[in-house]
Amino acid sequence: MRRIGVLAAMVVLVGLLVWAGVYNLRQRRAAMQRAQIVLVKDGTNPPATSGSGSNDASVFGGESLKGKIAPGFTLVDLSGKKVSLADFKGHPVVINFWATYCGPCRLEMPWFQEFSGKYQPQGLIVLGVDQDEDMPRDQVAEGAKKTGVSYPILMPDKSIAKSYALGDYLPQTFYVDKNGTVVEESVGTPSKDEVEANIRKAVGL
């Protein structure tokens, strides 16, 4: 009987350990979706902040473009083809500035991939603008491939960071409606729900 009691106690203990491990994993995944993480463009990490992403670029040193017409640009994609913002006139557009070293960027890019399909009937276009300094296109392509995205990835020129008044933090995202107006912007990685809410605002839902 004593052996049965010890065995039963061990089974209960193992069960509790398994349950605790599963619970902890779920909590970490939930926290990852809720957390906002910002990263300095040079690859150094400032203190992370939690909660929703900031929708005010001026907080991070940039000038807010909300309510203004999105600056036009013509950039080269990973295949060498020229892509202009004007090509998507009449479409809602998400312009996401990212870099291969940026962990928070890699977290949210699959969300943009998912929503580009979900809101395709509304004409949504997602553009990723790389911000790696002097990185060859093939290395940028490899970094984008690892995130699993298939939307266009564009190489930057000297002027786009200035025209979009980018601060020192990535990712930075602009949500543009079909009239070309920036209806929302974010610095850092907000939650997935907030990303979708911003997209819905851009597509007019």
Q: Using DSSP bridges, classify how beta strands 172-176 and 74-77 pair: parallel, antiparallel or unpaired.
A: unpaired
What is the pLDDT, as a whole number, of residue 33?
Answer: 40
- Please, how many CA atoms are within 13 Å of residue 39, restricted to the half-sphere of its CB? 19
pLDDT reported for residue 62 = 57
Question: Which residue is catalytic, options 35, 38, 65, 105?
Answer: 105
- Residue 7: predicted pLDDT: 55
Extract the residue ranges of the chain whose pLDDT is less than 50.
6, 13-14, 16-52, 58-60
- Residue 122, classed as helix, strand or coil, is helix
Q: What is the pTM of this model?
A: 0.74
DSSP string, 136-178: -HHHHHHHHHHHT--S-EEE--SSHHHHTT--SEE-EEEEE-T
- Which residue ranges make up each domain of the chain? 1-34, 39-203
Q: Which CATH architecture has domain 39-203?
A: 3-Layer(aba) Sandwich (3.40)
The question of whether 102 is a catalytic residue gets the answer no
How far apart, in whole angstroms, are the C-alpha atoms of residue 38 and residue 41?
A: 9
Look at residue 102 in the predicted model and tell me its pLDDT: 95
Query: What tokens appear for 184 in the block?
Result: 């929302």
pLDDT given for residue 167 in this prediction = 86
Residues 196, 52: Cα–Cα separation, whole Å: 13
